[in-house]
Amino acid sequence: AQTVTQSQPEMSVQEAETVTLSCTYDTSESDYYLFWYKQPPSRQMILVIRQEAYKQQNATENRFSVNFQKAAKSFSLKISDSQLGDAAMYFCAYRSAAQGNKLVFGAGTILRVKS
């Protein structure tokens, strides 16, 4: 079964600084998607960024970028110029058509932003 591991239960970053959240996953499939979701106190899951496994280029969305290392099965999220609004729980997730497109989530990382 596919598993997603986030080894950092909690991270802190100073406002305007850069922080990297780690994620590793285990799969024998070659065709899959990886995601980072943000869950603020409102509880609504918000998609931050998405990476297709077949794409070698790392995805970027404004201040958010990923470092996708397919061979190492690593998918880290870098947040640049951190803002107070970035404070939330961040979840790494895996999805594949072979598994019926369900999302498999990691345990999450709480990100605190200090002003």
Partner 1 sequence: KAGVTQTPRYLIKTRGQQVTLSCSPISGHRSVSWYQQTPGQGLQFLFEYFSETQRNKGNFPGRFSGRQFSNSRSEMNVSTLELGDSALYLCASSPSGYEKLFFGSGTQLSVL
Instruction: Rule CB under 8 A: say whether 41 interacts with partner 1.
Output: no
Whole-number Å distance between alpha carbons of 95 and 101 = 5
For residues 99 and 6, give the distance between their C-alpha atoms in angstroms, rounded to a whole number: 21
Contact segment (CB under 8 A) with partner 1 among 41-49, 53-61, 67-75, 78-86 equals 41-49
87/99 Cα distance (integer angstroms):
31
Work out which of 25, 66, 88, 108 binds partner 1, going by CB under 8 A: 108
Question: Near partner 1 by CB under 8 A, which window of 53-61, 65-73, 80-88, 93-101?
Answer: 93-101
What is d(CA 42, CA 6) in angstroms, rounded to the nearest whole number?
Answer: 22
User: Considering the rule CB under 8 A, would residue 16 count as an interface residue with partner 1?
Assistant: no
